[in-house]
């Protein structure tokens, strides 16, 4: 996996396949200390991955930059692949 350092943060690009659609997400933070993956909901909508607000769970995420409210949603992955820059 190739990554670049930007302001001391490791960034990668990944391709996500979902329901026969795919999208390359660029400048994704490679957070080795995180127990989950956080994706931009606007970008996910472009490949048909929509929030299920009836079944989603609200979570508070903590990090060096502060806290953020996120929506947890379990999905079946069709593919998550590292890409080159």
Task: Give tens-digit pLDDT for 10-69.
Answer: 999 888 888 888 888 898 888 877 777 778 888 889 988 888 888 888 888 887 788 988
Predicted local confidence at residue 79, as pLDDT: 59
E strand intervals along 4-65: 4-6, 9-18, 21-29, 57-63
pTM, rounded to two decimals = 0.65
CB atoms < 10 A from the CB of 51, how many? 12
- Positive or negative: CA dihedral 45, 51, 71, 22: negative
3-state SS, residue 6: strand
Q: Which domain holds residue 24?
A: 4-82
Predicted local confidence at residue 16, as pLDDT: 84
Number of domains in the chain: 1
Predicted local confidence at residue 41, as pLDDT: 85
């Amino acid at each position: 996996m190739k990554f670049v350092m930007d302001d001391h943060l490791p960034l990668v690009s990944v391709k996500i396949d979902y329901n026969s659609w795919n999208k390359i997400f660029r400048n994704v933070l490679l957070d080795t200390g995180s127990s989950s993956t956080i994706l931009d909901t606007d970008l996910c909508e472009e490949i048909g991955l929509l929030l299920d607000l009836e079944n989603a769970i609200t979570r508070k995420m903590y990090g060096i930059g502060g806290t953020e409210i996120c929506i947890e949603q379990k999905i079946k992955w069709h593919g998550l692949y590292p890409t080159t820059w």
